[in-house]
Structure 1
Amino acid sequence: MPCRGHSTKTEEPFWSEEWKKAGLKATQAPSTSVMQKVLFIETGMGCDQHGSREEHGATKAAIRACRNAIEFNSIPCIQDIVPGGRAGMKIHLKLGIPEEANGVDLDQVRAVFPYGQLLPIEVVNGGLTFQSGRVVEQLGDEKDLAVIVLACVTVGY
């Protein structure tokens, strides 16, 4: 399952224009960085009913899984708990992606996280594929394969 971890684009992707204007974006943690203390773990699932696309078939499902894991949480005291506040928060992301999926653009997935330091993303075989019952050529479908990706987001410092 090919995963592209570094963008060849000149500008890194942002989740939204609002985040771009506010300067919200997680950074890549230094390669020597490790998580000393786990504070919480969030899980999510994302589905792309047109996940058989040639390029980055499971990317949309992975983004949805990450959003599902983090979007209903608010931890206002993180500023007081983590040394360095939100910027010092470490994030470990583990994605379960079906082997049949055509890969994930990890730069797009990283853009989902508004702050913190992302440790290297761990990708394992997992998730699910199933027949969606339709092929929509205008959306890039080559077959009726839908993709489900699972995400585990561990936050600590």
Structure 2
Amino acid sequence: MAFKRYIVEFGMGADLHGMNVTTAATRAVRDAVSHSCLCGLNDVLNLKDPAKNMKVKVEIGVPFPEKVDVDAVHKAVPVGETEVEIKAGGMSAKGLEVKALGDGDTIVIAIAVLTVYVNVD
């Protein structure tokens, strides 16, 4: 199979009150996915079953990368075989502590880059 890059999309996600980097990472993935309609998979490449012919590489930049639940990030991608790489990055900033919403006053922000590869054979 010859997989080629089809699209690169990015997104941002944050957890405002709970300091949960997995929440921020999955929100970043969903944000990136929401910016893309891959209609060219059908209209241009004539792929009858795009999910079987695509791979998605997910790169996440987030504070405290070792705390990210990688399985949750895989599940945030709706179709295709996924590869996930978590890196140190993103951002954290002082926010507002609201006990009912989580512990701490630190906002954690994740950046996601999704690269979709398609089988062009």
Fold shared per TM-score above 0.5 = yes
Structure with the bigger percentage of helix:
2
SS of alignment partner, residue 37 of structure 1:
strand
SS of alignment partner, residue 17 of structure 2:
coil
What amino acid does structure 1 have at the position aligned with 2:105?
A: D
Q: Could you tell me which of 93, 99, 115 is aligned with 1:137?
A: 99
SS of alignment partner, residue 114 of structure 1:
coil
Once residues 66 and 80 of structure 2 are traced to their aligned partners in structure 1, the CA distance between those partners, rounded to angstroms, is 28
Q: CA deviation at 1:40?
A: 0.8
Match of 2:57 in 1: 92
Q: Is the 8 A contact 1:35 1:90 kept in 2?
A: no
Structure with the bigger percentage of strand:
2
Match of 1:152 in 2: 113
Q: CA deviation at 1:89?
A: 0.6
Q: Which runs of 5+ in 2 are unaligned?
A: none
SS of alignment partner, residue 26 of structure 2:
helix
The verdict on how the C-alpha distance between 1:102 and 1:50 changes in structure 2, with shifts beyond 3 A counting, is: farther
Runs of 4+ in 1 over 4 A off after TM superposition: none
Q: Deviations over 1:104-128 (max 9, x none)?
A: 2222222222211112x11111000
What amino acid does structure 1 have at the position aligned with 2:72?
A: Q
Once residues 85 and 77 of structure 1 are traced to their aligned partners in structure 2, the CA distance between those partners, rounded to angstroms, is 10
Q: Deviations over 1:6-31 (max 9, x none)?
A: xxxxxxxxxxxxxxxxxxxxxxxxxx
Once residues 127 and 83 of structure 1 are traced to their aligned partners in structure 2, the CA distance between those partners, rounded to angstroms, is 37
By relative contact order (CA 8 Å, sep 6+), the higher-ranking structure is: 2
Q: CA deviation at 1:64?
A: 1.2
Q: Could you tell me which of 10, 22, 25 is aligned with 1:62?
A: 25
Matched, 1:107 2:107: no
TM-score, normalised with respect to structure 2: 0.82
What amino acid does structure 2 have at the position aligned with 1:75?
A: L
Q: Deviations over 1:46-68 (max 9, x none)?
A: 1111242xxxx211111111111
Q: Which runs of 5+ in 1 are unaligned?
A: 1-33
Measured on the aligned residues, the alpha-carbon RMSD in Å equals 2.3
The total of aligned residue pairs comes to: 116
What amino acid does structure 2 have at the position aligned with 1:129?
A: S
Q: Is the 8 A contact 1:98 1:148 kept in 2?
A: yes
